[in-house]
Structure 1
Amino acid sequence: MPVIELHVMQGYSADEKTRLCAALTNAVRIVVPAPPEAVTVMIHELDPAGYMRGGAHRSPAPALPDPVSLVRNYLTAMEAREIDTARALLAPGFSMTFPGTAPMTTLEELIEWAKPRYNFVTKTYEGFEALQSPQDAAVVYCRGTLSGEWPDGTPFSGIRFIDRFEVVDGRLTRQDVWNDIAETKANP
């Protein structure tokens, strides 16, 4: 039974501590073959007045935003065609690659690329997974199925997709997309 004890400064919200406990539980389970209920995480909070580093009292760093929520907000904004809302979630230098394309750097490029392919697309999500990469990016995968309408007005549904996002400092830096649209369109 793995037991994790963590010391943090006071100041993190209950939601942030819950995210931290879940992430630590998952981190242990990627190495130790334990079910979630066998992993214990205890957070010990320190009063800032009782903590010093380098001879100075310190304040806790603000928690990073939940990368899964950020990705969900982006995808929701894109589906609703709230382009300015989606754009505000992108970091400078953002790039995205879709099947058969070179990397694109603006949402307008994506919209132009998509126009001859389909009238609209909606996503049904089967799951989201997040992990921290060694390169300082949180990586978020989302997977599920696509539904929508071909340019001739014919509906489609049940097309598999997976998106991979990189998030740094609370902004999206990269999106890679894989789906079976071409195969479905070629073999209706």
Structure 2
Amino acid sequence: MPVIQVSLIRGYSGELKQRLCARLTDAVRHSIAADPEGITVLVHEVEPDAYMRGGRQRMPGAEGKDGKPGMSPEQVVRAFLSAMEARDLGAAKTLLDDEFVMTFPGSGEMHRLEELVAWAGGRYRFVRKCIAAVETCGDGDETTVFCHGELSGEWPDGTPFSGVRFIDRFELRRGRIVRQQVWNDLALARP
């Protein structure tokens, strides 16, 4: 069975190393018919003073947290959805590509978050997403992230709703959101 060995400069978090091991395991599983239990991933760490490239000592790269470059695609999507739920449009915009476009059921294409807020204003007071699962696929600079779960919130008259199914599809380019497509059952749940 496959054995993958990776060398990293010491200093990355355990969470990042676990994510890297999981992604490498998935890459092997999608490339050859290997049982995940038979795939071994080993992470070797070297001290920063024991590593050079181009004749210069190097330090670990940024892991990317809190909206900074380097976040995983899932982290970007979760940060965006959290910022939108909090109506922190400034934070949400930092995660968007210049060519960003979004569509919601019945909305048509929108390019600015303010358009979404205005469009949604007559549909509900607020909405929250309870994410059941997030799936990431793609390679290189292009990534697609799907998340699904249930919506809850309040209708314009203050009546609460919950248990409304949704699926969001995000396309990312170089770590920034280019497209968001949303499907949900809000129209079926509306009184």
Once the two structures are TM-superposed, the CA of residue 96 in structure 1 deviates from its matched residue by 0.9
Distance in 2, matches of 1:60 and 1:167, equals 27
What percent identity do the matched residue pairs reach? 48
Q: Match for 2:169: what amino acid?
A: R
Q: Is there any run of 5+ residues in structure 2 with no aligned partner, and where?
A: 64-69
- Scaled by the length of structure 1, the TM-score of the pair is 0.81
Q: Retained in 1: the 8 A contact 2:8–2:43?
A: no
Q: Match for 1:90: what amino acid?
A: L
Distance in 1, matches of 2:57 and 2:137, equals 28
Taking the TM superposition and a 5 Å limit, the aligned residue runs for 1:111-130 are: 111-130=117-136
Q: Structure 1 residue 83 and structure 2 residue 89: aligned?
A: yes
Distance in 1, matches of 2:58 and 2:3, equals 26
Change (3 A) 1:98 1:58: farther
Change (3 A) 1:30 1:86: same
- Scaled by the length of structure 2, the TM-score of the pair is 0.80
Partner SS state of residue 37, structure 2: helix
Distance in 1, matches of 2:120 and 2:142, equals 28
Once the two structures are TM-superposed, the CA of residue 60 in structure 1 deviates from its matched residue by 7.8
Once the two structures are TM-superposed, the CA of residue 30 in structure 1 deviates from its matched residue by 2.8
Partner SS state of residue 68, structure 1: helix
Deviations for 1:18-54, whole angstroms, at most 9, x for unmatched residues? Answer: 22211111122234454533321123557543x66xx
Aligned to 1:181: 186
Q: Is there any run of 5+ residues in structure 1 with no aligned partner, and where?
A: none
Once the two structures are TM-superposed, the CA of residue 160 in structure 1 deviates from its matched residue by 0.7
Distance in 2, matches of 1:18 and 1:129, equals 16
Once the two structures are TM-superposed, the CA of residue 165 in structure 1 deviates from its matched residue by 1.2
Aligned to 2:72: 66
Partner SS state of residue 124, structure 2: coil
User: What is the Cα-based RMSD across aligned positions, in Å?
Assistant: 2.5
Distance in 1, matches of 2:161 and 2:72, equals 32
